[in-house]
Structure 1
Amino acid sequence: MASNIGMMDSAYFVGRNEILTWINNRLQLNLSRIEEAASGAVQCQMMDMTYPGVVPMHKVNFDARTEYDMIQNYKVLQDVLNKLKIEKHIEVNRLVKGRPLDNLEFLQWLKRYCDSVNGGIMNENYNPVERRSKGGKDRNSKGSQKTTKSLQANNMHNSASGDPVDLNKMSWPKQGRGSAVAGGATYSEEVQALSKEVTNLKLSVDHLEKERDFYFAKLRDIEILCQIPEMEDLPMTVAIKKILYAADAKESALEEAQEYLSEAINTVETEVESEA
């Protein structure tokens, strides 16, 4: 079953564009980046489409922006996987960070699993927009009721105490006009400086992630090349795989590969001399 597919499975060779097309076509969305699915709501609805009625859609928050709200979505998803006895642990802490590679790998797994259940055929009887709107209405309704009750309780408390809240009569710290203006200017400068720093940090992170994805893609290309049947047993290929599959970043991996390659070359030279 696709729930236990390994990292070398063909599922993990599916590109971002194909994953985004798969999501947008089935759920009638318009995602342009993998990280837009980091909230877990898309994954929940994909399972809802695959197993209609299994996912409590009223608990899924498609407007999740904070990590807390995203985690709640993934809790719903993990509960569904457990209920279906699908042995897949969700790395929530990594997914909610919105990192493209982490989310891509999980969506690649999800696509492979869903395709293994329905053969890659879309459920024509499933209305994704309607399912999302019903879930949203249920959630918003409950949230509105809770807010209304809270406001009513506060009003009753204020009436009972005989001390209604009047914002116009509340006491506020008094400041001179000059000091208020000076303080506001100082805070504005600090906010601008911090905003600029945050922007620079985001640009640096984006650059590092793009660079990481670039080199990861190259390593994957090398790995695929090394798996070609005609090449996988060649000394150079074996040496490269020793480096690729080393468990850590120690220099011993390179030394081991060089030693192996040297021995292989010496063996070939010896065989050639003996034949001569």
Structure 2
Amino acid sequence: MAAVNVYHTSVTTENLSRNDILQWINTALDANFNKIEGLCTGAAYCQFMEMMFPGSIGARSKRVKWNTKLEHEYINNFKVLQEYFKALSVDKIVPVEKLVKGKFQDNFEFVQWFKKFFDANYTDAQDYDPVAARDGQPLGGDAKATGPGAGGSSGIRAPPAPRVPVTRPAAAPQPSKPVTTTKPVQQQPPKTTSVIHRPTIPANHSSTINNHHQGMNNNENLRLQQEIDNLQEIIQQHAAQIAGLEKEREFYYQKLREVEMVCQEPEHEPLPHAQKILEILYTTEVRMNICNE
């Protein structure tokens, strides 16, 4: 059996909104996903694959962790999804390392492709009970906040604080104004004001200063713009290098996945040194550093 491959590399007007995607998943799988980021567990994709192609990978579909919050179990679920893809000759590369981080953009792009893949392959030929297929386990949903400050309100309200009456102090008696006797005012001699003559600055002098400052600002702006252009060029070069490294990483990762799946295939005779190969594949970076020391 082979699936219909769908090639989707860019955003188009045919894409659904995040609310449409969540409604489709929750309705089809009787799930409770509140965010696109919740698809990082990989469990929903595995159940969709079993819905479209029942029994295509046999008992290995039972390894799916439905209600998990652990990243290594997310990776396990995506390994099951990759086994589906291999058994059905699906060409799509699953960016596991990006998806399990729970970032919106990565998961939204992948689920947009998967929706098109589902529409191209699902025939609705038989009834499918998603809850029974999960043995009644929940799928999706976020934990609700509890404790003080959590959403929702109970029927009991605290009584309002009693109001303390405020009394105003009695007005203090105004002191009587003392009676003063007036004295004749002596006339002061008129003050003479001196006029200070300030030197005037020629108008052409101020304009010369302004032109000088403007020229300095223009030179500084040109220097900064040139520096920005150089930095942007360096950023573009680094971005191209990173994109090439990511493609190379995905290439070798898929090669290692194929080696792993060959070593785990039960229908074939055990390969020589298969267990040793799996141990090398599963060795973590921390363990390798310890061995080198």
TM-score (norm 1): 0.46
More relative contact order, 1 or 2 (CA 8 Å, 6+ apart): 2
Question: Which structure would you say has the larger Rg?
Answer: 2
TM-score (norm 2): 0.43
Richer in helix (by share) = 1
